[in-house]
A = this chain, B = another copy of it.
């Protein structure tokens, strides 16, 4: 009893935070980025604006909550599926496909998020410092996909590839934003064909002729965040 009483303020604070977060996530799903405001969320959650700003000073803080939530969901779907295969291309396919499925509820509003996030100066840019938690969750999934696979790639390449596959995921998501085909079949076909080609081309990375230029390219691509 005594412990519950001292915990009460912390618990109340966490409940308020969770209430705002859930209200915001629903709003992002139903209204999109542009129409969602902290003011609107406070009103819908039935709390004062000052209180809402205490937990989430800007809309960007709400977007970071959304990012982390989406990545957690992606992880919870992908990890059990990864146990079904130790083949690299199949494992990548699992991560990419489950990621697209997690994004799908936001497709109608994706252009608004994209415009707001794409500038390197945007606080909700997925490559930016504020997005570190969400990004680490997502890159970690690609690390799991590569790490748990049978493959004979050179070590240095195997270490750099998860970040490159993650950047590939951002590009796939960019294509997906533009994809108006039913069931997003065009994006899924692009992914399938891309993976098939990767499966044929990746073993060539062991050839001395290709190894050095490929490693240099992979390193440079990783520098996009520098």
The answer to whether A189 has its CB under 8 Å from any CB of chain B is: yes
A116 to chain B, nearest CB (A): 7
Please name the residue on chain B nearest to A194 by beta carbon: B217
- Is the pair B178, A127 in contact by a Cβ cutoff of 8 Å? yes
- Is the pair A216, B200 in contact by a Cβ cutoff of 8 Å? no
A77 to chain B, nearest CB (A): 25
The answer to whether A111 has its CB under 8 Å from any CB of chain B is: yes
16 A-B pairs whose Cβ atoms sit less than 8 Å apart in the complex:
A114-B119, A115-B116, A115-B118, A120-B177, A175-B224, A178-B224, A181-B226, A189-B220, A190-B217, A190-B221, A193-B220, A196-B213, A197-B213, A200-B209, A200-B213, A201-B210
Please name the residue on chain B nearest to A111 by beta carbon: B119
Residues of B with C-beta under 8 A to A194: 217
The answer to whether A154 has its CB under 8 Å from any CB of chain B is: no
Q: Given A118-B115, A119-B112, A119-B114, check contact A214 B197 (CB 8 Å).
A: yes
What is the 8 Å Cβ interface bit string for chain A, positions 83-119, against chain B (1 contact, 0 not)? 0000000000000000000000000000110111011
Residues of B with C-beta under 8 A to A217: 190, 193-194, 197
The answer to whether A26 has its CB under 8 Å from any CB of chain B is: no
The answer to whether A31 has its CB under 8 Å from any CB of chain B is: no
- Is the pair A119, B127 in contact by a Cβ cutoff of 8 Å? no
- How long is the Cα–Cα vector from A200 to B205 in the complex, in angstroms? 12
Residues of B with C-beta under 8 A to A150: none
The answer to whether A15 has its CB under 8 Å from any CB of chain B is: no
The answer to whether A223 has its CB under 8 Å from any CB of chain B is: yes
Max chain B CB contacts within 10 Å: which of A118, A122, A194, A210?
A: A118
The answer to whether A121 has its CB under 8 Å from any CB of chain B is: yes
Residues of B with C-beta under 8 A to A196: 213
Residues of B with C-beta under 8 A to A214: 197
